[in-house]
Amino acid sequence: MDLRRVKEYFSWLYYQYQIISCCAVLEPWEQSMFNTILLTIIAMVVYTAYVFIPIHIRLAWEFFSKICGYHSTTAN
Amino acid sequence: MEIDVVQWSSAEQSQGREPKQNGKPHFYDKLIVESFEEAPLHVVVFTYMAYGIGTLFGYLRDFLRNWGIEKCNAAVERKEQKDFVPLYQDFENFYTRNLYMRIRDNWNRPICSAPGPLFDVMERVSDDYNWTFRFTGRIIKDVINMGSYNFLGLADKYDESMKTIKDVLEVYGTGVASTRHEMGTLDKHKELEDLVAKFLNVEAAMVFGMGFATNSMNIPALVGKGCLILSDELNHTSLVLGARLSGATIRVFKHNNTQSLEKLLRDAVIYGQPRTRRAWKKILILVEGTYSMEGSIVHLPQILALKKKYKAYLYIDEAHSIGAVGPTGRGVTEFFGLDPHEVDVLMGTFTKSFGASGGYIAGRKDLVDYLRVHSHSAVYATSMSPPIAEQIIRSLKFIMGLDGTTQGLQRVQQLAKNTRYFRQRLQEMGFIIYGNENASVVPLLLYMPGKVAAFARHMLQEKKIGVVVVGFPATPLAEARARFCVSASHTREMLDTVLEALDETGDLLRLKYSRHKKSARPELYDETSFELED
């Protein structure tokens, strides 16, 4: 019962995506092509975020803490 | 600027006027309430994004068609013309081929009954994505008609009151086979012109066979080179064509904006013609009574004040407002309580409220006499067909009450009631509606091209309501809309059905963009007695 509501909700969401992004008026092969390209781009963005963002955050944290640490040592 | 409320009082405008023919002059204060709400930002962004995606796919399909990978169904030049200037590469053809064709099944839908409040639509399907259509043979019956310009419900099947048309058809036949100047002026035309002049409360009128041709053929007869035309930016194509054909200089002012018009008038009077600085021979202001794409009514009192101050002439095209606006249906002059003699040229058509075809120009007698001689339409175009003239005579008598009943006046009032009810309910539901609250043409904004197609198809196939949707190029690119025409022959139940269907469709397609939503139906108090606390 709950699964059916969830599936209905997702199909409504997919319908909204289709009419907003003009997919509803495209032919089926164009729709599949557009969906494939969009999913590929999203997958690449997610992968890049997963691989690189923790390293960037750690480096930025070290950089700023070194500056603040330098300030506090000279102040003392 | 979202909601525009203009306070206007007619008392100071009309001081020394003699009473009009139909009774006491109207002195009442009126607030013009118009709203042109802007869309939320995310809607505009998504709209442009959708057009961008459509354009990209358009380029892809054009590439495939060009290289022969896909069969081309659109018009192309012949092989021998490939080195000539290209014919089909401009934006309009690109848009037609790639964006319009995909959703083309929502337009040009053939109907097979009279365009009354309910009508029958022929069902058609397409096998190759709207390049060709075929009729299945089935008919979708009793579709509620929200698209026809049938404001007073006079465009309907034959009934007993149309008997005079049958008699005229028997006596005069169908064709006139001549122009007005040669042998095409019938006594029916004279009777009709006298009746139109009486209806509008002016000195004289002249009727023409086609409404579009009335504008495009008569403006060149009134102005020429050395004259200035100030036309509203959203004027109808017939006015634009007439203005361009005349050879006069055309300047455009912002839609319904009296400050913009005043600035143009001042510049025209101060600086004169472009190089020679001579005075303009004539300055003609072209406006419409009701603009059908926006649902707005012209700000007539301010424009009349400007016209008197700067000594210009005014031409009003009352195609959508004659018979539909004003307490007795006499048009925008009556709506604002003004004297029709103050407007120089009153033009209108008989297609919308009178259920016929053709147009008229009315005004002072010397103006109409001049047009009888000099209008291109009078010299070259066939005059109005007699049964149609009789239909207009019948409708005019019906509206004026000359046939002995008050049904005409009741219909005009019913139209006003229906309009206000429909607009108020739509605004309460949360849709973005443009225009004046008294205009019977209601544009509902849809914005995104995918939603435009989904809306039209859903309304016809699921809810059996026929609506007209309009997109680019008739409207700006990002403002696609659905246009409803309320009619006096719509009953309250029909309007409620339509409103419920719109409510559901609006929730399904998420169309309720308005940020001024009033509270949904307030709960009525059910208490019949109070308990007073002592």
Does the beta carbon of B510 lie under 8 angstroms from any beta carbon of chain A?
yes
Q: Report the pLDDT averaged over residues B216-227.
A: 94
Residue B144: which residues within 8 A CB-CB, separation 6 or more? B117, B118, B464, B465, B466, B490, B494, B497, B498
Does the beta carbon of A13 lie under 8 angstroms from any beta carbon of chain B?
no
Does the beta carbon of A48 lie under 8 angstroms from any beta carbon of chain B?
no
Domain membership of residue A50 as a residue range: 3-74
Does the beta carbon of A32 lie under 8 angstroms from any beta carbon of chain B?
no
Q: Two tokens at B402?
A: 């000359």
Report the pLDDT value the prediction gives residue B21, as an integer from 0 to 100.
41
- Chain B residues with CB-CB distance to A21 below 8 A: 46, 49-50, 53, 450
Does the beta carbon of A19 lie under 8 angstroms from any beta carbon of chain B?
yes
Of A19, A30, A34, Cβ closest to residue B450: A19
- Which chain A residue has its CA at the smallest distance from B102's CA? A25
Rounded Cα–Cα distance for residues B56 and A33 (Å): 12
Say how many domains are in chain A.
1
At B13, is the pLDDT very low, low, confident or very high (cuts 50, 70, 90)?
Answer: very low
Rounded Cα–Cα distance for residues B216 and B242 (Å): 4
pLDDT in tens, B325-373: 999 999 999 999 999 999 999 999 999 989 899 999 999 999 999 999 9
Neighbours of B27 (CB within 10 A): 14
Rounded Cα–Cα distance for residues B385 and B173 (Å): 9
Neighbours of B501 (CB within 10 A): 19
pLDDT above 70 for B497? yes
Cis amide bond preceding B473, omega within 30: yes
Does the beta carbon of A21 lie under 8 angstroms from any beta carbon of chain B?
yes
- DSSP 8-state secondary structure symbol assigned to residue A26: S
Rounded Cα–Cα distance for residues A66 and B345 (Å): 82
Report the pLDDT value the prediction gives residue B192, as an integer from 0 to 100.
95
Instruction: Give the H or E element holding residue A71.
Output: helix A28-75
Lowest mean pLDDT among B26-35, B199-208, B394-403, B483-492: B26-35
At B287, is the pLDDT very low, low, confident or very high (cuts 50, 70, 90)?
Answer: very high
Q: Two tokens at A24?
A: 């509803």
Q: Which of B511, B532, B517, B526 is nearest to B47 (CA)?
A: B511
Most A CBs within 10 A among B43, B44, B48, B53, hence the mutation to make, goes to: B53
Report the pLDDT value the prediction gives residue B28, as an integer from 0 to 100.
42
Residue B345: φ, ψ to 5°: -125, 120
Q: How far A18 CA sits from the closest chain B CA (Å)?
A: 8
pLDDT in tens, B137-161: 999 999 999 999 999 999 888 888 8
Report the pLDDT value the prediction gives residue B372, as an integer from 0 to 100.
93
Residue B204: which residues within 8 A CB-CB, separation 6 or more? B193, B197, B362, B363, B364, B365, B367, B368, B369
Q: Which of B333, B362, B337, B367 is nearest to B349 (CA)?
A: B362
Most A CBs within 10 A among B47, B51, B57, B98, hence the mutation to make, goes to: B57
**Residues lower than pLDDT 50 in chain A:** none
At B529, is the pLDDT very low, low, confident or very high (cuts 50, 70, 90)?
Answer: very low
Residue A1, SS3 per DSSP: coil
Lowest mean pLDDT among B12-21, B29-38, B131-140, B259-268: B12-21
The verdict on ipTM greater than 0.85 is no
Q: Report the pLDDT averaged over residues B226-240.
A: 94
A24/B450 CB distance under 8 A: yes
Q: Two tokens at B59?
A: 């380029």
At B420, is the pLDDT very low, low, confident or very high (cuts 50, 70, 90)?
Answer: very high
Q: Which of B328, B375, B433 is nearest to B34 (CA)?
A: B433
pLDDT above 80 for B317? yes
Report the pLDDT value the prediction gives residue B90, as an integer from 0 to 100.
86
DSSP for B61-117, written as a single string: HHHHHHTTSS---S----GGGTTS--SS-SHHHHHIIIIIGGGGGGSS--B-S--SS
Q: Which of B505, B520, B514 is nearest to B36 (CA)?
A: B514
A19/B454 CB distance under 8 A: yes
Does the beta carbon of A34 lie under 8 angstroms from any beta carbon of chain B?
yes
A30/B57 CB distance under 8 A: yes
pLDDT in tens, B170-201: 999 998 999 999 988 999 999 999 999 999 99
Report the pLDDT value the prediction gives residue B11, as an integer from 0 to 100.
41
pLDDT in tens, B50-72: 999 999 999 999 998 888 887 88
- Which chain B residue has its CA at the smallest distance from A27's CA? B129
Q: Two tokens at B39?
A: 């869309």
Rounded Cα–Cα distance for residues B301 and B336 (Å): 7
Q: Which of B309, B307, B289 is nearest to B299 (CA)?
A: B289
Most B CBs within 10 A among A15, A20, A31, A32, hence the mutation to make, goes to: A20
Rounded Cα–Cα distance for residues B290 and B293 (Å): 9
Task: Give percent of chain B with pLDDT exceeding 90.
Answer: 67
Residue B48, burial from CB neighbour count under 10 angstroms (0-12, 13-18, 19+): middle
pLDDT above 50 for B2? no
Contact B389, B355 (CB under 8 A): no
Does the beta carbon of B102 lie under 8 angstroms from any beta carbon of chain A?
yes
Report the pLDDT value the prediction gives residue B32, as an integer from 0 to 100.
74
Q: Which residue has the higher pLDDT, B79 or B517?
A: B79
Q: Report the pLDDT averaged over residues B428-434.
A: 91
At B121, is the pLDDT very low, low, confident or very high (cuts 50, 70, 90)?
Answer: very high
Termini Cα distance of chain B: 52
Of A18, A20, A27, Cβ closest to residue B129: A27
Q: How many CA atoms lie within 13 A of A53 on its CB side?
A: 6
At B26, is the pLDDT very low, low, confident or very high (cuts 50, 70, 90)?
Answer: very low
Report the pLDDT value the prediction gives residue B474, as an integer from 0 to 100.
86
DSSP for B352-386, written as a single string: SSSSS--EEEEE-HHHHHHHHHH-HHHHHSB---H
Report the pLDDT value the prediction gives residue B30, as an integer from 0 to 100.
59
Does the beta carbon of B49 lie under 8 angstroms from any beta carbon of chain A?
yes
Residue B375: φ, ψ to 5°: -75, 140
In one-letter notation, the amino acid at residue A59 is: L
- b/e for B310-327, b at 16 or more Cβ within 10 A? bebbbbbbbbbbbbbbbe
- Chain B residues with CB-CB distance to A30 below 8 A: 57, 60
Contact B188, B393 (CB under 8 A): yes
Cα–Cα distances in Å, from B463 out to B486, B499, B508, B511? 18, 11, 13, 17
pLDDT above 90 for B225? yes
Report the pLDDT value the prediction gives residue B384, as an integer from 0 to 100.
93
Q: Two tokens at B266?
A: 């001042």
pLDDT above 60 for B448? yes
Residue A60: which residues within 8 A CB-CB, separation 6 or more? none
Q: How many CA atoms lie within 13 A of B497 on its CB side?
A: 17
Report the pLDDT value the prediction gives residue B489, as an integer from 0 to 100.
92
Report the pLDDT value the prediction gives residue B186, as an integer from 0 to 100.
93
Q: Which of B28, B110, B339 is nearest to B203 (CA)?
A: B339
